[in-house]
Structure formats: C-alpha cells, structure tokens
Amino acid sequence: MQLDPNDPIVRSAVFGKQVEDFIEGDVGKHIVRRAESEVEEMLDQLKRVSPWRWRRIGQLQARIAALEGIQQWLADAIVDGRQALNLLEGD
C-alpha cells in the first residue's frame, strides 16, 4: 500500500514519530530535564513567597503553566502520532 504524504493521518503519524525521536535524543532529554527542574524550583519558590506578593505569585504560576504546557503539547503530539499509526496499520 502506498501512503499519501499529504494525508493528515500520515502527517500526524510522521510528526508524532519526529517528536518522539526528538524527546528521546540528547537535546530533547536536556530540554525536558531543564523544564522539570525549573518547574520544581518555581514550585519551591511558590511555597515560600509571601501571600502579599501577588504579582510574584502570578509570575511563578504563569511560568509553571507555560513549562507544563509545552511538555503536554509534546506528549499530545506523540499520542496523536501513535493513534494515527494505529489507524494506518489497521487499514
């Protein structure tokens, strides 16, 4: 069976595999470790910040949300790619 590279399912499967390969590589592992480390540091700061420093609390929360969001986007791309691959293999 010939796969159409413009097929959205094929593109999703390929993209998911590219993201997975990136995450498993040295650069991807480094980025994930850095993000996890920063989130831990921000959570520690959030525990210690005065409740009256609402701007600082907001900054910390926004940074945590951004870092976790990026990690979730990557995870979603991998899951979507695997699901697309399952669809293609089922054909």
Q: Is residue 14 part of a domain?
A: yes
- pLDDT for 90 equals 84
| 56: containing domain | 8-90
- pTM score: 0.81
Percent of the chain whose predicted confidence (pLDDT) is above 90: 87
Residue 53 CB burial class (10 angstroms; 0-12, 13-18, ≥19): exposed
| Average pLDDT over all residues of the chain | 94
Q: Is residue 2 part of a domain?
A: no
- pLDDT for 75 equals 96
Q: Is residue 12 part of a domain?
A: yes
Average pLDDT over residues 65-70: 96
Looking at the structure of the chain, the number of domains it has is 1
Q: Is residue 1 part of a domain?
A: no
Q: Is residue 82 part of a domain?
A: yes
Q: Is residue 64 part of a domain?
A: yes
Asked whether 81 and 20 are in contact (CB, 8 A), the reply is yes
Give the model confidence (pLDDT) of 26-50 as tens digits. 999 999 999 999 999 999 999 999 9
Residue 67, pLDDT > 90, answer yes
